[in-house]
Structure 1
Amino acid sequence: MLRHLHRWPGLLAALLVLVLAFTGAALSLYPALERLAVPQAESTLTVADLAARVASAHPGLEQIRRAPSGRVVAWWFEGGRPGAAVIDPATGADIGSPDPLPGSRFLTDLHRELFADDTGRLVAAAGAALMLALSISGVWLVARRMGGWNRWFARTRGPFAGRLHVELSRFAVGGLILSSVTALWMTASMFSLVPDVAAEPAPALATANLPRLAYDQIPALANTPADALKELSLPSSGDPTDTFKLTTAGGVALIDPGTGGMLSSATPGFFEKATEIMIMLHTGQGAPVLGLLLGLMALSVPALALTGAQQWLAGLRSTRRIRRNARADAAETVVLVASEGGTTWGFARTLHDGLTAAGQKVHTGPLATFDPARYAHARRFLILAATYGEGEAPTAAKGVLERIAALKSAPTAPVAVLGFGDRSFPHFCAFAESLRSAAAQIGWAELLPMATVDRQSPQDFARWSRDLGAVLTLPLDLTHLPERPKTSTLTLISRRDYGAEVQAPTSILRFAVPQPTLWQRLTGQGLARFEAGDLIGVLPKGSDLPRFYSLASSAQDGFLEICVRRHPGGLCSGQLTDLRPGETIEGFVRLNPAFRPHKGRKPVILIGAGTGVGPLAGFLRANRRHRPMHLYFGARAPQSDLLYDAELRDWQAEGQLAKLTTAYSRHGQKTYVQDALRADAAELARLIGSGAQIMVCGGREMAASVRDALAEILATIGQTPATLKAEGRYAEDVY
């Protein structure tokens, strides 16, 4: 429901909201420009001084107004002709026309009323209401995506469009809510829905036949600072009973020009003050810095619209190929999908088609939309859940565990959970297990025990489908054919070979990056954006199942680089290490933002062995600001498989690598990286105590040994790998 509330107003009112955002951003410049364009009065200047200076230049002075920007405009009548000008408060001299700055009237009319008077004002107010609904629903969706309000400022992850959408939302949402609320208040004031009529003093007449006092002899004018003035109307020379009318932030007063006494006064009421504050907050008049900030926030709206539409289209691409998708409120079987890279959706479509062919009414959708109230006729729930990183939920499914735990009662229809992952990773199907556990804790009945699919295995999936069919008494035996990912052709431009002497042939392969299209640059698709530590999925010939390798370069480097060790019988590693310059492969990038150095100047401890040094080398290559980076690198022997040996020397000489520590398992005294860590325990404890981040890349056994060694070192400063991981300061990329 919340997603629909956020999505459809944004799509249906996109043009109106964009017009309001663009014009509002443009108008936000004018208060600052106006303040810069006019001289400001000295702090000691009084209203009496200002009036005297202007009157000396224009004896027929009738009125002075001061804008919140400090712009002073005077009106007079001389020689039978009216006049007006912007005034220099220091001299009283004319310095310019009082006409608005160029373009401001056009933009104001377009922003407030769309050139359609009251009808346009109502339409603009509807746009503000839609912006308010989008902003409030967006706040809740961001909190849900981040995993709760306490993680509002946590690092984002996932596809570029989604991350940019969240970052912009967190920056701009406060300003957008403020602009929307103030716009609605101003519209209500315009149509007299708010009782904010300006207070007026009781009518009074001046003492007749008295000569007018000098300005500095009138206490109210002499004691009021000029920067508190809003308006001063002078008594008419032809009416001996006319008075001064002084308007300031504190109210309005009528003053006798002959005695200097105050005849009557009125102070603004609550609603009048509130409306004045609303105008200031909305327009930035009197607060130019706030106006510029709100304008900058308004400029985020086009980017939010673009990234939001891109996410919507991505969601459509995930679900649109599901044929005969029953409505959520009419389905007997509900299939819910949590996927990071999108491959789990392929299994969901196979399941959907099989159940539909067996006569079931099936609704398939993202797990993020889970709400038991949506599925009035559901007889069973089937959850297909991938795991991200170290046991985490996929980006789109964050917060689901909390929503399940918050249910007052379990759904009446039973649930079955199928986990997808890679058994070589230590947190295999951990998110699926968390879902199963959360369901059990609220008493949600289990349709059949949780099962897993290892490395997108069609055999594992077929086995589970048969078990499901047996429970449902349906003939299910589903054969899933993996969908071929959309790939780019990569041409090998160079290679360096290592490890032959120690029977571990390894190559550093560098590929040319195809020139991205303009659309790919804008949306981040294809190979337009990638960083060291992201993954390249390579499709070996004769297979549609990708193998993933960590990237040792970023898009800014102008090439794509990986380190590959040849495994006996390895289909992909064999094909890659057999490549010659000029030959090609098919691949695609999968972002891995959880495995990147944080921004800032804190030290980074890089730990890797074998080909695990690849992404770490990429981090060093990108370290052009000479942030302290310490590399612990494990290899067999320096002569055979010290990958990036020349670059490591250069980076150390140039300051991109603060310290290099090597450990060789087949050269000299046999050591491993964990031994090197223990030898540097005191220095590592000091670095970690000062806020260092730790990044580990390599095989599972090496990562486990490193974790044990670090646990010993961290214990001396009251830390553990788990606490560092919770702080985002310990990251692993293991295989």
Structure 2
Amino acid sequence: MLRSLHRWPGLLAAVLVLALSLSGVALSVFPAVEAISAPPAVAGQTVADLAAKVQATHPTVEQIRRAPSGRITAYWFDGNTPGSAVIDPATGQDAGSADPSAFRTWLTDFHRALLMEDAGRWTTAAAALAMLVLSVSGAALVARRQGGWRKWFAPMRGPAAGRWHGEFARVAVATLTLSAFTALWMTASTFDLLPADEANAAFPATVSGQTGLSPAAMPALAAVPVADLRDLTFPYAGDATDAFALTTSQGTGFVDQGTGALLVWAVNGPWANIGEWIYLLHTGEGAAFWGLILGLATLAAPVLAVTGTLVWLRNRRNRPSVAGMASAGKAETVILVASEGGSTWGFAKALGHALQQAGGSVHIAPLSAFAPQAYSAAQRILIMAATWGDGDAPAASQSALGRVAAAAPHPTARLAVLGFGDRSFPAFCGYAEAIDTAARAAGWQMLLPLDRIDRHSAQAFARWSATLGEAIGTPLSAIHQPEPPRTTALTLVTRRDYGEAVQAPTAILRFALPSASLFDRIAGRGLPRFQPGDLLGIVPQGSSVPRYYSLASGTGDGFVEIVVRKHPGGLCSGQLLDLSAGQSVQGFVKPNPSFRPDRSDAPLILVGAGTGIGPLAGIIRANTRRRPIYLWFGARHPQADFLYGADLDLWSASGQLANLATAFSRTATRHYVQDRLRADAERIRDLVSKGGRIMVCGGREMAQGVRETLAEILAPAGLSPATLKAGGRYAEDSY
């Protein structure tokens, strides 16, 4: 419901909102220009002094106006010829033309009413209402995506278009909401839909009948600072029964032209005062700096329109519906999907189609819409959940786990959970496991034990669907071959070879960074921005299953670098190590947000062995602010496979690496990295006590051994890798 509330106003009113946003951005510049170009105000000047100086310059002056920007304009008649000018308040002399810019007039009319008077005002009000709905629902969606309001400014992740959409939304949502609300208020005020209590003083019943007193001698005008003036209208020449009409920010009244006394005064009510603030907040008139901020924030609207459309198109592509899909309340089978990149939706469609062919009714929806009370006819609920990073939920499903845990079991439907992930990650299908555990703890009846699909295996999915068919008494054959990932050509620039002497050929491969515009990245073309520790997926020839390599570089380095060791019979590693400079492979980037250094100044402890040095080297290379980084590195032989050896010396000399500790297993000492950690136990405890964070990268057995060793080292301090991980201070990338 929340997504629909956000989606349809955005799609239906996109062009109109864009037009009003861009015209509003242009208008936001004028108050600043006007404030800069206006003659400077005179400190402490009163209306009496200003009026006297203007009258000395223009004896037939009829009106003086002060705009919220501070610009003062006078109007007069020379005979039958009207005149006007911007006034220098220090002298009362003309300081420029008062004629409004034709472009500004046109732009203002377009922004307010689309050049269509009242009908246009109602149309722009509808657009403002759409923007208000978009802003409020968008804020709620950002909070849900982030896992709660408290995590509003936590780093965002996910596909580029959705991430950019969320980043701009959370920065601009407050100003966009304010702009939409104030626009609606001003429209309602224009059509007299709000209470009106603006001061409207009645002309006094009696006046002195005297004339000729200089404004400089009038006590009522001397009591009003120029900063409060809105309008001063002079009495009609020669008419002793007329009076000065004075309007300020507080109210309106009349001043006797012969005595200078205040005859009548009416004060603005609260609705009028609120209206003045609304006008200032919407236009920036009277607060030029705020107007510029408002304009800059409104520039986010076009970006949000583009990225929002791309997100909608991607979701339509990634969330295929099944023809003849039943509504949530009438379906026998409800399939709920949690997916980061969209690939899990293809499996859901295949399963839904198979169930329909078997005579069943099916409803497919995102897991974020989990609402068992709406599934009145359901006999089974199937959750197909992908895992992101270190056991995390996909961005759009972060709140779903809490819903599953809190929901009462369905009275008729049983539940089954199928996980999708990559077995090379430590938390393989960790999010699906968490959902299954939460459902069981909540008392749900389980249709099947938790099962897992490794790297989108079509065979494993077919086997699971057959098992599901047996459980429901209906033969099922759900076959889905996922589309290969969109890749980009990467051309090898240089390579550094190691390991031949110890029968472990290894190379540091550096590829040219493909050029891609911001729009290309938002649209999902080319490589997105990446950091050391993210993953480079390579699809080897003769296979549709990508292999992943931890990146040893970031986008800012200007190249794509990985470390590859040749595995006996390894299809991808063999092809990569056969590359020569100038040859290319197809690759794509997969973010790995769980393996990134935080931004604190606390010590960073890096532990790696073999090719696990890759992302750690990238982190050290990027340490331009000289955070204290300590590296423990294990290899076979210092002359054979001391990867990045020369670089580490340079980084140590530059202060990017505080300390390097090595261990080699093919030398006389035969030390492993775990042995060196034990030898440095006291230093490690000291670094951890200072808030240090630990990052480990390497083979799965090595990572487990390091974890156990660190548990021994940290035990005297009452800590462990598990407690550090719970506090966000321990990260592991193993393979």
The residue identity in structure 2 corresponding to 1:564 is: V
- Asked if 1:295 is matched to 2:295, the reply is yes
8 A contact 2:510–2:559 mirrored in 1: yes
Deviations 1:39-65 (A, max 9, x none): 231322111121122122112222211
- Cα deviation for residue 697 of structure 1 reads 2.0
- Asked if 1:613 is matched to 2:599, the reply is no
- Report the secondary structure of 1:30's partner residue: helix
How far apart are the structure 1 equivalents of 2:370 and 2:553?
Answer: 39
- Asked if 1:370 is matched to 2:370, the reply is yes
Aligned to 1:277: 277
8 A contact 1:419–1:433 mirrored in 2: yes
- Cα deviation for residue 360 of structure 1 reads 2.1
Closer, same or farther: CA 151–514 of 1 in aligned 2, 3 Å:
closer
Closer, same or farther: CA 679–32 of 1 in aligned 2, 3 Å:
farther
- Asked if 1:380 is matched to 2:377, the reply is no
Aligned to 2:11: 11
How far apart are the structure 2 equivalents of 1:668 and 1:48?
Answer: 98
How far apart are the structure 1 equivalents of 2:313 and 2:340?
Answer: 16
- Asked if 1:392 is matched to 2:392, the reply is yes
- Cα deviation for residue 713 of structure 1 reads 6.7
- More displaced stretch, 322-331 vs 178-187: 322-331
- Cα deviation for residue 10 of structure 1 reads 0.7
How far apart are the structure 1 equivalents of 2:623 and 2:536?
Answer: 22
- Cα deviation for residue 631 of structure 1 reads 3.1
- Cα deviation for residue 417 of structure 1 reads 0.5
- Cα deviation for residue 70 of structure 1 reads 0.8
Closer, same or farther: CA 443–628 of 1 in aligned 2, 3 Å:
same
How far apart are the structure 2 equivalents of 1:52 and 1:472?
Answer: 94
- Cα deviation for residue 591 of structure 1 reads 2.2
Aligned to 2:37: 37
- Cα deviation for residue 470 of structure 1 reads 1.2
Deviations 1:127-182 (A, max 9, x none): 00000111111111111111122222211111121111111111011111111111
How far apart are the structure 2 equivalents of 1:640 and 1:553?
Answer: 23
8 A contact 1:65–1:73 mirrored in 2: yes
- Asked if 1:286 is matched to 2:286, the reply is yes
Aligned to 1:105: 105
Aligned to 2:235: 235
The residue identity in structure 2 corresponding to 1:699 is: G
8 A contact 2:172–2:298 mirrored in 1: yes
8 A contact 1:169–1:304 mirrored in 2: yes
- More displaced stretch, 652-661 vs 74-83: 652-661
Closer, same or farther: CA 325–588 of 1 in aligned 2, 3 Å:
farther
How far apart are the structure 2 equivalents of 1:723 and 1:306?
Answer: 43
Deviations 1:369-406 (A, max 9, x none): 33335544332111111211222111221111122334
Deviations 1:302-347 (A, max 9, x none): 1111111111111122123756544444432122221224443343
Closer, same or farther: CA 619–323 of 1 in aligned 2, 3 Å:
farther
- Report the secondary structure of 2:639's partner residue: helix
- Cα deviation for residue 16 of structure 1 reads 0.4
Q: Write the mapping of 1:130-209 to structure 2, written as runs, cut at 5 A.
A: 130-205=130-205, 207-209=207-209
Q: Write the mapping of 1:429-578 to structure 2, written as runs, cut at 5 A.
A: 429-516=429-516, 520-527=520-527, 529-578=529-578
8 A contact 1:410–1:442 mirrored in 2: no
Aligned to 1:340: 340
Deviations 1:663-695 (A, max 9, x none): 333335444445555655666566656665543
- Cα deviation for residue 724 of structure 1 reads 5.1
Aligned to 1:631: 631
How far apart are the structure 1 equivalents of 2:356 and 2:480?
Answer: 15
- Report the secondary structure of 1:69's partner residue: coil
8 A contact 2:532–2:596 mirrored in 1: yes
- Report the secondary structure of 2:265's partner residue: strand
How far apart are the structure 2 equivalents of 1:518 and 1:139?
Answer: 24
- Report the secondary structure of 1:45's partner residue: coil
- Report the secondary structure of 2:640's partner residue: helix
- Cα deviation for residue 718 of structure 1 reads 7.7
The residue identity in structure 1 corresponding to 2:590 is: R
- Report the secondary structure of 2:308's partner residue: helix
Aligned to 2:256: 256
How far apart are the structure 2 equivalents of 1:677 and 1:99?
Answer: 79
- Cα deviation for residue 726 of structure 1 reads 5.1
Aligned to 2:23: 23
Aligned to 2:247: 247
Closer, same or farther: CA 95–19 of 1 in aligned 2, 3 Å:
same
- More displaced stretch, 345-354 vs 261-270: 345-354
- Cα deviation for residue 239 of structure 1 reads 1.1
Closer, same or farther: CA 674–164 of 1 in aligned 2, 3 Å:
farther
- Asked if 1:657 is matched to 2:632, the reply is no
How far apart are the structure 2 equivalents of 1:78 and 1:603?
Answer: 79
- Asked if 1:84 is matched to 2:77, the reply is no
Aligned to 1:427: 427
The residue identity in structure 2 corresponding to 1:109 is: D
The residue identity in structure 2 corresponding to 1:168 is: F
Aligned to 2:304: 304
8 A contact 1:67–1:230 mirrored in 2: yes
What is the TM-score of this pair, normalised by structure 1? 0.93
Closer, same or farther: CA 285–389 of 1 in aligned 2, 3 Å:
same
8 A contact 2:466–2:476 mirrored in 1: yes
- Asked if 1:696 is matched to 2:696, the reply is yes
What is the TM-score of this pair, normalised by structure 2? 0.93
How far apart are the structure 2 equivalents of 1:87 and 1:691?
Answer: 63
8 A contact 1:206–1:256 mirrored in 2: no
Deviations 1:504-557 (A, max 9, x none): 322212234445478524524232543332212122232211111111223444
How far apart are the structure 2 equivalents of 1:633 and 1:206?
Answer: 97
- Report the secondary structure of 1:533's partner residue: coil
- Report the secondary structure of 2:155's partner residue: coil
Closer, same or farther: CA 31–645 of 1 in aligned 2, 3 Å:
same
- Asked if 1:226 is matched to 2:229, the reply is no
How far apart are the structure 1 equivalents of 2:259 and 2:449?
Answer: 95
- Asked if 1:314 is matched to 2:314, the reply is yes
Deviations 1:83-132 (A, max 9, x none): 21111111111111112346321211111100110000000000000001
Closer, same or farther: CA 42–700 of 1 in aligned 2, 3 Å:
farther
8 A contact 1:206–1:258 mirrored in 2: no
8 A contact 2:164–2:522 mirrored in 1: no
- More displaced stretch, 525-534 vs 461-470: 525-534
- Cα deviation for residue 299 of structure 1 reads 0.5
- More displaced stretch, 648-657 vs 185-194: 648-657
- Report the secondary structure of 1:638's partner residue: coil
Unaligned runs of 5+ in 2: none
How far apart are the structure 2 equivalents of 1:212 and 1:91?
Answer: 22
Closer, same or farther: CA 90–671 of 1 in aligned 2, 3 Å:
farther
Closer, same or farther: CA 221–515 of 1 in aligned 2, 3 Å:
closer
How far apart are the structure 2 equivalents of 1:383 and 1:377?
Answer: 17
How far apart are the structure 1 equivalents of 2:637 and 2:174?
Answer: 57
The residue identity in structure 2 corresponding to 1:24 is: G
How far apart are the structure 2 equivalents of 1:229 and 1:518?
Answer: 49
8 A contact 2:161–2:522 mirrored in 1: no
How far apart are the structure 2 equivalents of 1:131 and 1:407?
Answer: 33
8 A contact 2:208–2:256 mirrored in 1: no
How far apart are the structure 2 equivalents of 1:185 and 1:683?
Answer: 64
The percentage of aligned residue pairs carrying the same residue is 56
Closer, same or farther: CA 40–583 of 1 in aligned 2, 3 Å:
closer
The residue identity in structure 2 corresponding to 1:549 is: Y
8 A contact 1:526–1:589 mirrored in 2: no
How far apart are the structure 2 equivalents of 1:603 and 1:100?
Answer: 61
8 A contact 1:337–1:345 mirrored in 2: yes
